[in-house]
A and B are shown apart, each in its own frame.
Chain A
Amino acid sequence: MGRYVARRLLQMIPVFFGTTLLIFLMVYSLPGDPVAGLFGDKGASPSTLAELRHKYGLDQHILKQYWDYITGIVLHFDFGTQFRNDRPVTEVLGDAFPVTIQLAALAFAFELVFGIGLGIIAGLRAGRLADNAILIFTLLIISIPVFVLGFIIKMVFAFQLGWIQPNVSNDQLLSEMIAPAIVLGGLSLAYVARLTRTSMAENLRADYMRTAVAKGLPKRRIIGVHLMRNSMIPVITFLGTDIGALMGGAVVTEGLFNVKGVGGLIYESITRREGSTLVGLVTVLVVVYLVTSLLIDLLYAVLDPRIRYA
C-alpha cells in the first residue's frame, strides 16, 4: 500500500511538468500580443512596448521563459506577477481559491447528500412511482442549461420571494453561497442520482444479496453495508473527477452570481493573455485532480475487498 502511494506520487512529477509546459506553449501560441493589448485603439510607441516586454521577460525565448517560471515555482514558490497590475500571482490565486473551494465544497455536499439520497430511493423502488418521479426530475435538471437554472432561481427566490440576495456580496458569506452552490451542483446531482439508482437496482439482483437475505441479516445491514458498498464504486469515480470540474469549470455560475473565483479568473487570464496566472491556476487544478484520483483509487480498496494494492 505504501509503495503504491509512493509510486503514484512520483508519477505526478512528469504529469506536473507536462501539463504546465503544454499550457505555457498554448498561451504563447494564441494570437494577440499581451503588451500591445494594453493600449487598445490608441497604440503606443515601439520603445514603450519594448520596455514593457523587457520588464515582463517577454523578450526572452519561450523555453527560457518557461524555465524561469518553473524554477521560480519549484524553488521559491513564486508564480510570477501579472502583466497588467503587477500583482503577484500567488496573491491572485490566494484571493480566488478560498471562495471557489467554499463554493465547490457546498455544491459537492449538496450533490452528495441529495444525489445519493434520491438515487437510493429510486434504486430501491425501481420501476415504481417514486423512481419515475425522480427520473423526470433528474432529466429536467440535466436538460436545463446552467444559466437558465441560475436565472430561474434568482427570479423566484431573490426577486419574487425576496428570500435571498440576488448576488454574492463582497463579504462572501457562506449563506450567500447556497444558491450558486445549488446551481453549480445541480447537474452533477442528477448524474449522481442516475448512477446510484442504476447500480443499486442492478446489484439488488446479485447473488451475494440473495445470500445476505437468506442468512437472515436485518434489512438495514443488507442495504447499508452489502448493497451500498458495492454500488458506490461508479458513483465515487464520478464524484472524484467532479471535484476538479466544480472548481475549474464554474465560469458560468460564478459570473451569474458575482462570485470572484477560479472560473472567472481562468477566463480573464485567457482573454488577457496572462500566461503566468493561467499556468498557476492550471497547476493547482492539476494537483487537485491528481490527489483526488489517488484518493479514489485508495477508496476502491476500502469499498471492494477484492481490490488490493500491493
Chain B
Amino acid sequence: MGIDKIKSMSRDDFKDNEYIDKLVEELNATGANVMVGKMDDLINWGRANSLWPLCFGTSCCAIEFMSLGAARYDMARFGFEVARNSPRQADYIMVQGTIVHRMAPVMRRLYEQVAEPKYVIACGGCAVSGGPFKKSYCVVNGVDEILPVDVYIPGCPPRPEAMFYGLMQLQRKIKVERFFGGANRKEKIEEFFKQHPEEKGHIG
C-alpha cells in the first residue's frame, strides 16, 4: 500500500500511523489480487494527488486558507489549487469555521451535492468541536454531528502548515482505500446518515 509515499515526508513525520496501519491491515485481510490491487493503486494515486477543494469558509480559518493558496504557502504545489465554487466538481469540503444551526441544513445539502468520492476536513476548533462557542445556543458542536469527517485539523485558526499536514493525512487515507470490490467507504457514509437522520415533519 502506498501510504508512505508522500513526497519528502517520512512515515515518522506523521503522528497517528497506528490508525492508518489498522486500515491497511483490514484491507490486506480481505485480500485483493495483484491486477486489481495495481489498478487500485493507480486510481488512489490519481485521487490522492488531485484534491480539489470546495470554496467554503465561514470565518477566520477561511482567511488562513486564502494564505494557504497565496504565494508563500502555495497549495498549488500539491495540485490543490483548483478551488471549485460548484460543489459538484469539488473533491473535498474543508469546513473552515463555525457551523451554526441555520447553516447546518445548508452544509448537509452542500455535502450531498458533492460528487463521490468526497471527503470532509474539519478545520479549526469550531468545526472540530464548536471551539470557543461550544456553549452557545445555536452552534453545532463539531461538524461531525452532521457530516462524516475524514480529517480533523485543530487550531484557532490552524496555521497553513497545519492545514498542509491535514491534507497530507487525507492523501494517506485515500491511498489505503479500495475502488474495486470494497464498498466500505460508501457503507460507512450510509451508516453515518442512518445515525444522524434529518428531522422530518417540521416543515413540509
Are chains A and B native binding partners rather than an unrelated pairing? no
